Amino acid sequence: MSDVIKVKSGSMYEERNSYSRLVAVGDMLFVANTAGVDYKTREISPDVAIQARRALQTIEGALEAVGSSLSDVVRIITHVPDRANMEAVAQVLGEVFKGIDPAATTACTPLARDDLKVEFEVTAIRGVSKRSQEYVKISV
């Protein structure tokens, strides 16, 4: 396998803005901000939960292209412009990442287009889901 692999998803912005959906450097996987656009049809649902699921499907496809999966995600950054949509997005994330429990950040920030209601950026480590894991509680 190459030292660096770059994955494209078909977004017109990848070509125009010269970026990759995912860059793999060894087992470290970096996924660019991903919106809930269907890159084949260019359609986007007005429903934030559908956008969230579609974005995560795109991310999952990019991870699978390099022999990984959502189970290997160690960090997710969520961008939601409208706080009113945070609960619906949190519900989708809770379902998709149940038991994976990556480090997570959510920010209320404008996105590039008004019809985009959520975007995700993830970092994954290929194969980390197969390693032993331990949960530690802290008290503050």
- Ordered structural domains, the chain, with CATH: 4-130 (3.30.1330.40)
Inter-residue long-range contacts of 42-48, CB under 8 Å, 24+ positions, other chains counted: 42/12, 44/115, 44/116, 46/115, 48/80, 48/85, 48/88, 48/89, 48/117, 48/118
**pLDDT tens-digit map of 98-111:** 999 999 999 999 99
Rounded Cα distance between 8 and 29, Å, is 13
**pLDDT score of 2:** 72
Candidates 75, 80, 93; CA nearest to 30 is 75
Look at 5-14, 54-63, 81-90 and tell me which has the smallest mean pLDDT. 5-14
**pLDDT score of 101:** 96
What percentage of the chain carries pLDDT values higher than 70? Answer: 99
User: Mean of the per-residue pLDDT values for the chain?
Assistant: 94
Rounded Cα distance between 124 and 109, Å, is 23
pLDDT > 80? residue 3: yes
